[in-house]
Amino acid sequence: MPEVIIPGPDGRLEGHYAPAESDDAPLALILHAHPQGGGSMNTRVVTTLYDIFKNRGYAVVRFNVRGVGNSVGEYDHGQGELQDAATVLDWMQALNPNASYCWVAGHSFGAWIGMQLLMRRPEIRGFISVAPPMNMYDFGFLAPCPASGLMLYGSNDRICPPDEIERVCERIRIQRGTKLTHTVIPGAGHLFDNHTEEMREAIEAYLDYRQNGAVDPEMDAFMASRKGRR
């Protein structure tokens, strides 16, 4: 898990990079929660996402956006942070020119940034959005959402209420052949304290489904069968 310094739009960005063993392995970019709310690349949700993809053989980066930790710059209300994410993805692709495809995963503010990046980068084939802040930011740019992915959130999230997430998701248009999958972790709050393992199991189950190539109509039954094993 080597530490890396990546040249960013406003200066250096610090991160952790796990290279893959295969030169054509997929990439995964992990994005943290709000810089002004304690979000960083070292929070439990972010490190869990990082470990999940690393253990599956992906080349993975988690990093601090501008103004967080030793990353240079100041909070830029999402615009600069999106530029940071795009720059880090470029950096990963330069190191891994034979990568087959890419995933993006983010927590809260990072989920919002990740979904914007998804709209701009066709090489991103899937996403994991944990506690997407649909009550705080406009997700109307998903018109339509170009890739299938997982929306995962806690039933006791008081920052991003699940009812609001579900309401907004119902209005999101999806591209033909794609699907937004919803998974709610009972009892979990915004930070998934004491519910990290349940979060991990749900994400692993979704990635198993995508890796196995199951068709979209099988998704609900597949996730339900995994939930029954907990």
pLDDT digits (tens, 9 = 90+) for 22-33: 999 999 999 999
**Is domain 3-227 classified as CATH 3.20.20.70?**
no
What is the per-residue pLDDT across 80-115, written as a single tens digit (0 to 9) for each? 999 999 999 999 999 999 998 999 999 999 999 999
- pTM, two decimal places: 0.92
pLDDT in tens, 182-194: 999 999 999 999 9
Dump the DSSP string for 196-214: HHHHHHHHHHHHHHHHHT-
Break the chain into its structural domains and give their ranges: 3-227
Beta strands, E only, the chain: 3-8, 11-18, 27-31, 59-63, 102-107, 124-130, 149-154, 180-185
Q: How, if at all, do strands 180-185 and 149-154 pair? A: parallel
Cα dist from 214 to 105, 123, 218, 226, whole Å: 21, 21, 7, 14
Nearest CA-CA partner of 58 in 7, 90, 81, 92: 92
Query: What digits encode the pLDDT tens for the residues 119-138?
Result: 999 999 999 999 999 999 99
